[in-house]
Structures are given as structure tokens and as C-alpha cells.
Structure 1
């Protein structure tokens, strides 16, 4: 075998990709830590089995070449090839199953219902005792050191809800509700993703996850429940008129206005979100305008029509209005 002196440094550099806001090896939640421990223990068990089986093969083929009678050989084969792997795998399975129920433990009060759409995420916050939800889209915010329960479903096809840095994944089915709970342990911004192929824009179905200290989360949730606060100015006012005139309110809701549509994402506070189009673009005015005019190019087979013929002045005014919705 040829020795490659640069293999180890290259491997160390590759490990740098194992950190970040969408890495299972850089956990920021209690559940993600559990899964990383599970992975490490399973890997250790695999190494034990590999060393034991291959060590025996090496020993009896290269080191100890004396003849063994049939009874001894049978004991070695059964013990090393069947009994040892069975015991190790059974122990790993029993331990792994014992720690998994925490992934479905009840929440501490807050529930979030997430519906997988084509291709975006409908998000509804249900604080304890609430009669109606606080509706958002394509972004989730969570309190740190509190367990939040997620009720998951899908509108059309199977999706899979996954925030690698916070915990495991859970499939989402049309007409059925599944549940998972997560408990972040660090404040920060992370990335979630649909982990089940769901169509043409599956790879562009992401969402940002912001974890906040409990007090900061409470302040944010109260602001999220309030009507939209649009930016003042003639251009933003013109954008609000364009929004209603073009019929955007038939699909999108902006609380506090005449727009009450339920087909597309809720835009009440779209200007304060960290991404546009379910993780496709940064939410700048230029990108919002580009999204409105070229939606189908940026996200294939999306249901929102592209406004390619909208006058440039109206387009920029509409983008300014949407960016100002805080």
C-alpha cells in the first residue's frame, strides 16, 4: 500500500466542514447531542466488531498457523462470528432505543404546527392556552433551554422536517399529523431543510431557525402576533397600493390590512425574516423585486406566478413595501 503523507492533513481540513449551522456534528440542542452520542457509541461498537472479527482472521491465518480440531474451530466461528456480534449489536440496540423516547417528549407549553407546502413552510405558533395561532412562514424561532413540541403535516406530498444542529428528522404526511420535540441549548441561527425528495424544488425548500433566550423570545413572539408595521414613505405607500391592485392579497395575508389570503405564505412580517422564498435569497429590496418578476426561474414549478410584465417603478415600490413589513 502506498503511503500518502498528505492524507492526514487533508482529512483534518475536511473536518472543518463538520461545523456550521447545518451540521449534525456541531450540535446546539439537547436532542442533537443525544444523536451525536448515539452515533459515537454505534461507531465505537462497529470498530470493536471490526477489530475482533478481522483480528481473529489475521491471527489464525498469519500468526497462529497450527492445526485446530473441528470442535475448536466451530467454537471460534460461532463465538467470534455469531455470539460476539449478536451481543454487541443487541446491547447497542437496547441502549439506543432507551434514549430515543426523549425525541418525542411533550413540550413545555409552546406548540408549533408546521405544514409542508410546495415548496415552503407554513408555521403556526400556539402558545399555551392560545385560542388562535400566530401565523408565519419559512422561518422558525425557538426559546433556548425549553422543549418545544412540533406538530407536523403536509398539504400535498411527503416532506421531512429536519434541523440537523438541533435534533433528528421527522416525516410529514398529507392527512396525518406526526410529532417531534426539540430543546435548543445555544442561542444562534441555524438551517433546517426538507430531507425527503418532494419535487422539482426540493433542494430549495429550506428555512432559518433562530434560537433566543426565553425573555427575548417572548418579546419577539409578542411582536410577531401584532399587525404589520409598514415603512413610511411615498414609495412604500405606492407599493401597498400595488400589492392590493395586483391581487396579491388573494393569496397572501398581511395582518392589519385588507390582504387575508391563505394560499401562500403569510407576509405580515416578511421584511424581518432572514431569507426569502424558503431559503432561496437574502431578503434585500433588489432580491424581492427579482423574486416577484422571476419566481418560476428561481424556484421551478412554484405555484406563485411571475410578474414579468410589471412596470419597473411598480415592481420596486412593491419590493420596498414588502421589505418594510417588520
Structure 2
């Protein structure tokens, strides 16, 4: 049976309720965020199931405006010809960023709001490929008052190239030469600028808006800013703020809010051997903070400008 897992702003208690016919069960996954919703899909029409699985981008319109680069993203390890992606190729190097905690589109002028990730094909059980999430509201709440005061006005400059480069530095600190070019140099491209400390509007709670895309703090010496951001990102990824979603069945769907949660793919032994085919749609953030400090209506894209 396929399930939907929701990374919600507040804990959802155990309960059962009728929603337009189907019986839905919610099971909390973490003390502060996340719940698993299980429904009997035999009680809905095959046409609706087909639309959900085959038209995820269309369904996502219910949450808001879709990302305008590609409504449906293939974030798995399957090549266009259907073969399994092998380690070491350029596509593998670029996707290694996904192993680090990040928020979708933090590097673009308009950040992402809701993301939906659907399991299309999964590797055998026990070989890895889970998805991990972090609650940045609880991470902020755990900071001491002095630290909160220190960071309250920081503006973070984000670049997807920063994450891609950092994900391809070896144990000796050497960057893979394939990414050691101007094309992949964050300083050669625009940054998506967002305040580090924000109010998550749906819940009214304060959160850290930080991700592996965070390159530096505006107005702070580069090395110091990067050190500070690394410390905060490490803090947000502590076990007490995270949960791991284990993909069980084809058709499983995970929905999360990028403005207050981080996510990353967990490496595993499936890599290079078995398909992990996941399809994602991303919805633009609809909050008052969606455009950050980038100018409402900007059309440039990080790394593509």
C-alpha cells in the first residue's frame, strides 16, 4: 500500500477521519514535525490514481504556482536511456549536492515553497536511498539567546554551485577538476539572497533559512561567514531535529515545506547497481518572504545567468 508522508509545521496526533470518503490514518514520525498518512487506495477511482502517479506536476498546482524551469524534475539515478547512473560521471557529480541538507531553489530569486516527491521505482530493501529531513524551527529554538541576537539580521547569499563544489571535494581538500572552472565558480554568478532568521508564516514560529547552498554572509569577511554558516547548518542537522523517511512502495509520496525544513538523500549500496527513480515537482513559495532580497519578478536563475 502506498503512503503519503507529510513534513508538517506541528506534530499531528494519531486519529482517523473520513475525508471525502476514504479513511485516512495519520501516524507521527517525529516529536516536532512529520506524519505518515495511509489511505486505502482501493476506495478511490483508478482514474484518480493514474492522475496522481502520471500527472504529479498537474496535482501540484493545488499548492500554488509551479517552478517555471521544469514542472517535473527527475531526481533519481536513471539515465535518459533507462540505464542506471554510474559513479564518477558529470551527472553523478552534480547530483552529489543532494546528499547535503538543502532547501529547494534557495539560490534562485524566488525560493521554493512546497515540494512533492513520488517514488516511481525503488531499489531492493536494505540498500539505502532513504530521504532525511531537518526541522529548522526547532533548530532555531534550541539556540541560546545570545546566538539568536547575533544572527538576527544576517543575509545569506546562496548558490547551487557552492553545494555542487563542496560535494566534490576529496579527503585532501582538492576540488574535482571537472568543477574547477568559471562555469562552476559561485563568485562568477548571481546569488539568491535571503534573511537567515525568518518567521514561518503558516505556523508563526521562527526558523533558520539555511542550506548547503549558503555561500557567505553579506557584509562579513568570506572565511568568517562561511565558518559561521557551516556551524549553523551542522546544528540544524543534529539528530534531535531530523527524521529519516524510508521509501517502502512504488507510489509513496512525500510532501514538505522548503521554507522551514531541509532535506537530503541518504547514500546507499544501491548506487550504480539498482534504479532509484524519484520524480519531484516544486511549487514556488507564496509567502511574503518568497523573493527574499532579490527583487520581486526577477527572472534570472543561479548558475544559468
TM-score (norm. length: structure 1): 0.24
Highest relative contact order (Cα 8 Å, sep 6+), 1 or 2? 2
User: Which of structures 1 and 2 has the bigger CA Rg?
Assistant: 1
TM-score (norm. length: structure 2): 0.25
